[in-house]
Homo-oligomer: A and B are copies of this chain.
């Protein structure tokens, strides 16, 4: 059985990190899945998905890390071409990638206790993101 749904997430952009775990767990339970996996995928090329211990210290650490390895204030060829100033957002998103697969069993995501599924929005402005949640099992 495969169920594909979309959840809309408002973000502040600029490396905003949003915890999706509760919403995804709810989708699994709503459809009565027992064992399988969920593919989480963000449509768009300036956001990514990963897991993180979701606490304010690490949120800051991750933002500072991306700012250091892909600085927002540098020149990017993408900006010269399009003028939208989000070249750094694209590079960061291509590095983190838009997909994440998480297994579940007995209807429960097999995450660690301090491990949450997060959307990281790298764009340089507020966005409403469409996140695909596709459950197979």
Question: Which residues of A are at the interface with B, using a C-beta cutoff of 8 A?
Answer: 2, 4, 35-37, 39, 41, 43-45, 50-53, 55-58, 60-62, 65, 69-70, 76-82, 87, 90-91, 93-103, 105, 110-112, 114-115, 132, 134, 136-137
Contact = CB atoms under 8 A, between A and B. Distances in A.
Closest 5 CB pairs of A and B: A57-B77, A57-B81, A44-B112, A57-B78, A43-B112
Contact of A37 (B50, B78, B100, B136): B136
Given A57-B82, A70-B65, A80-B57, A45 B90 contact: no
A105 B3 CA distance: 10
A99 B100 CA distance: 7
